[in-house]
Amino acid sequence: MAHTIAIVNQKGGVGKTTTAINLAAYLAIFRKKTLLIDLDSQGNATSGLGVILEGEIANTYHLLIEGRSLSSVVQPTTITNLSLVPASPDVAGAAVELVNQPEREFRLAKVLTDAHASFDTIIIDCPPSLGLLTINGLVAADSVLIPVQCEYYALEGLGQLVRTIELVKTHLKPSLTILGVVLTLFDRRNRLAHQVINEVRKHFPGYVFDAVIPRSIRLAEAPSYGVPIVKHAPWSPGAQAYRNLAQEIMALEKQSNLIGKGAATSATMVADVVKR
């Protein structure tokens, strides 16, 4: 069975897509057969992997709304072992059209059933909202990876995110766990950023990955070349950080049955931490 990870934070611009692309690329380089699903109508994971949606290339919209098979939607990428389900602006329509569909929260989970035999890891890049597309991402996932930007308002909205994960667990996907929090856009010259790291580690004891993703021009410019950081600047600190994150996640996968950073992780425990 593939380990399916949804990358979620309803806050915009926190590094979800950058994490999705680069984590997926390193997992693929470590020989995991990896599928990245772009669930965002902005299509940043799609363009960031150099996939150009010309003409009628099928995408997440067709998968979710038109019932196309997964194999008809999957695209190869420049990285061996890494495939992509692209997104186009049409996906914004999917969010609206899903509302009237039967079993609307389970559409992605259903179409991914076949993928479990073909892939080791499935990464879902979710949009910056807690709407139906993200709910589909959560229901299809085994675990949630939450990127948190090292800035003053970092913890804002995390309570709501954890409550949403709780609701999904209770009503739709009891086995969903929180894989962990990854700190992103860290600027070591900024004193506040160090304080934020301490604060986040205090709020989520045992849930924060050791790998901290630095703010890096190399990471920001890689998408304009349509490649992950491993192809653009493999020796840069940003590349090393994503490599380390991939290794930490692989170690967790080995160690336990896809249980998150905390030993007996459950979203409830994290919810308690946030409430305190």
Ligand X SMILES: Nc1ncnc2c1ncn2[C@@H]1O[C@H](COP(=O)(O)OP(=O)(O)OP(=O)(O)O)[C@@H](O)[C@H]1O
Contacts to ligand X by CB under 6 A: 12-18, 40, 42, 44, 128, 184-185, 213, 215-216, 219-220, 223, 238
* Closest CB to Mg ion among residues 85, 269: 85
**Interface pick for Mg ion out of 9, 10, 17, 265 (rule CB under 5 A):** 17
Number of other CB atoms surrounding residue 116 within 10 Å: 13
**Residue 59 interacting entry, from ligand X, Mg ion, none, C-beta within 5 to 8 Å by type:** none
Number of residues lying near Mg ion (CB under 5 A)? 3
Q: Please answer whether residues 204 and 270 qualify as being in contact, where contact means their C-beta atoms are separated by less than 8 angstroms.
A: yes
Structure-token match 């997926």, residue found: 24
- Interface region with Mg ion, contact rule CB under 5 A, candidates 17-25, 162-170, 234-242, 253-261: 17-25
**Residue 137 interacting entry, from ligand X, Mg ion, none, C-beta within 5 to 8 Å by type:** none
Nearest to 203 by CA among 144, 162, 249, 247: 162
* Binding of residue 169 to Mg ion (CB under 5 A): no
* Closest CB to ligand X among residues 13, 76: 13
Minimum Å gap between C-beta 70 and ligand X is: 23
* Closest CB to Mg ion among residues 161, 269: 161
The upper half-sphere exposure of residue 86, i.e. CA atoms within 13 Å in the direction of its Cβ, equals 21
Minimum Å gap between C-beta 271 and ligand X is: 22
Give the separation between CA 223 and CA 105, rounded to whole angstroms.
31
Q: How is 117-174 classified by DSSP, letter by letter?
A: GT-SEEEEE--SSSSHHHHHHHHH-SEEEEEEESSTTTTTTHHHHHHHHHHHHHHT-T
**Residue 205 interacting entry, from ligand X, Mg ion, none, C-beta within 5 to 8 Å by type:** none
Q: Please answer whether residues 129 and 157 qualify as being in contact, where contact means their C-beta atoms are separated by less than 8 angstroms.
A: no
* Binding of residue 16 to Mg ion (CB under 5 A): yes
Minimum Å gap between C-beta 148 and Mg ion is: 14
Nearest to 173 by CA among 37, 266, 39: 266
Minimum Å gap between C-beta 114 and ligand X is: 27
Structure tokens at 223: 């998408």
**Residue 36 interacting entry, from Mg ion, ligand X, none, C-beta within 5 to 8 Å by type:** none
* Closest CB to ligand X among residues 34, 44: 44
Minimum Å gap between C-beta 275 and Mg ion is: 28
The upper half-sphere exposure of residue 175, i.e. CA atoms within 13 Å in the direction of its Cβ, equals 9
**What's the 3-state SS for 159-207?**
HHHHHHHHHHHHHCCCCCEEEEEEEECECCCCHHHHHHHHHHHHHCCCC
Name the residue number minimizing CB distance to Mg ion: 17
Site for Mg ion, rule CB under 5 A? 16-17, 44
